[in-house]
Amino acid sequence: MARIHGRNGVVYLGLTNGGAASPVTFLTDWSINKTVDKVDVTAMGDPNKIYVSGIPDAAGDFTGWYDDSTPQMYAAANDGLSRNFYLYESTLSAANYWFGQILPDFSVSGGVTKAVDIKSAWKAASPIQRSRSGVLG
């Protein structure tokens, strides 16, 4: 596996629930957070706290410059329905990507001294999986 630069990443998001995903233009950053709940099972006499693994979670966000011709995030935030989602870490290696269904939020901001930007924080609506060279994992 090689190190990669983030500049060639791309996010695809469905315009409608169950619809085909299309690229979200002018994004600058993305993140995926895969975490597991840790449940405290500490008992009297234990030398330190003890935890067991719970349910995995997947969430993330993407940010960029606002473009009113790509309404995917806004539409999803308004109807509250899940969207098909694909995140390619780099278009130079299209076999490596994340996919599933997400529930994206939509935020837009601007100001006198800045360009209008967008942010979408999302949560998983299905298993978020990673495909590496055609192998799920």
Which residue type sits at 127? P
Q: Where are the domains of the chain?
A: 6-136
The rounded distance, in Å, linking the Cα atoms of 16 and 62 is 18
CA angle 116, 117, 118 (to 5 degrees): 135
On average, the pLDDT of the chain sits at: 91
Which helix (H) or strand (E) segment holds residue 29: the answer is strand 27-40
- Residue 52, pLDDT above cutoff 60: yes
The rounded distance, in Å, linking the Cα atoms of 34 and 128 is 9
Specify the pairing of strand 135-136 against strand 21-23: unpaired
- Residue 3, pLDDT above cutoff 60: yes
- What's the whole-number mean pLDDT along residues 28-32? 96
State residue 9's pLDDT score.
92
Q: Which CATH superfamily is domain 6-136 in?
A: Hcp1-like (2.30.110.20)
Find out whether 108 and 117 touch, Cβ atoms under 8 Å: yes
- Residue 117, pLDDT above cutoff 70: yes
Return phi, psi of residue 54, to 5°: -110, -135
pLDDT tens by residue, 61-114: 999 999 888 788 888 888 989 999 999 998 887 788 999 999 999 999 999 999
